[in-house]
Amino acid sequence: MLQVYLVRHGETEWNAARRIQGQSDSALTAKGELQARQVAQRARSLGITHVVTSDLGRTRRTAEIIADACGCPVILEPRLRELHMGVLEEREIDSLTAEEETWRKQMVDGTPDGRIPQGESMTELGARMHEALNSLLELPAGSVPLVVSHGIALGCLLGTIIGLPPYAERRLRLRNCSISRVDHQQSPWLAPGWIVESAGDVSHLDLPALDELQR
C-alpha cells in the first residue's frame, strides 16, 4: 500500500486580500510561513521520503520548509498547479461584475462545462491531478510521499477519488496547510486503487486557517 499525504500551501498575501490567484502567484504571509513550519513539524513524524510540489511559488516555498524539516528532496511537478482561472486571475473577488461572478461560480456549483474565459475546466484539472498522483506509484517501495498543491486542485482530486465528477459542487473545505491522505490499496471491503483516508485536517495549526474564499 502507498500512503500519500496532501498539503495545501500556506496562506498568501492574495488569500488574505480575497484576490484570485489561479496560476498567478503571491508570496506567503507571515502567517503562511508559520503554517508551513507547523505542518513541517507534523510531517517529521510521518516518515516522509519525498516532497512533490506544484511549481508555483507559494507551493514551492511551503514544500521547501517541509522538505527541510524532513530531510528529503523537493520534486517539482507542474501537473499539481492550481486551476487556471483565465481572465479572472489577479482580480479581487469583490471587484467582479455580475457576469464575471457567474463565471467564477461555475467552478464550484456543479456546472458540467464551466470554464472561465481563457481558463481551464474542472475536467482538465482533474485529469492532470490524477496523472500526477498516479506517477507516485513509480516511487521505490517503502516511499511515503507528501504532495503540496492548491485548494481547488486538491478538492477536485479528493472528490474524484470518491467517485464524484470533477465538476461536482464543492463541499469539501481544505484550509491553508491542511493535511489530507489518500492510499493506494487492495481491500476486500473497498474498491481497489485510490481511497481517501482523511481530508482537511488542521489539528496541527495553532490559529484558524483560511479556505479559498475566506468563508
Give the dihedral sign, CA 70/48/16/27.
positive
pLDDT digits (tens, 9 = 90+) for 153-171: 999 999 999 999 999 999 9
Average model confidence (pLDDT) across the chain: 96
Q: Where are the beta strands (DSSP E) in the chain?
A: 2-8, 50-53, 74-76, 145-149, 179-187, 190-201
213 pLDDT above the threshold of 60: no
71 is in an annotated binding site: no
As a whole number, mean pLDDT of residues 37-43 equals 98
| pLDDT at residue 190, as a whole number | 96
CA distance 139 to 27: 30
Does pLDDT of 108 surpass 60?
yes
Name the region of 47 (left: φ>0; alpha: ψ -120 to 50; beta: rest): left
Block residue for cell numbers 482537511: 200
Residue 81 annotated as lining a ligand binding site = no
212 is in an annotated binding site: no
| pLDDT, position 124 | 98
Instruction: Kindly list the structural domains of the chain, giving each domain's residue range(s) and its CATH number in brackets, ordered by start.
Output: 2-214 (3.40.50.1240)
Whether 29 has a binding-site annotation, put simply, is: no
In DSSP terms, which residues pair with 12 in a beta bridge? 28
What is residue 215's predicted lDDT score, i.e. its pLDDT?
A: 45
Is 179 annotated as a binding-site member?
no
Annotated binding residue at 124? no
The percent of residues in the chain predicted with pLDDT above 90, rounded, is 95
So which residues are the catalytic ones? 9, 82
pLDDT tens for each residue of 19-39: 999 999 999 999 999 999 999
- Give the HSE-up count for residue 186: Cα atoms under 13 Å, Cβ half-sphere: 0
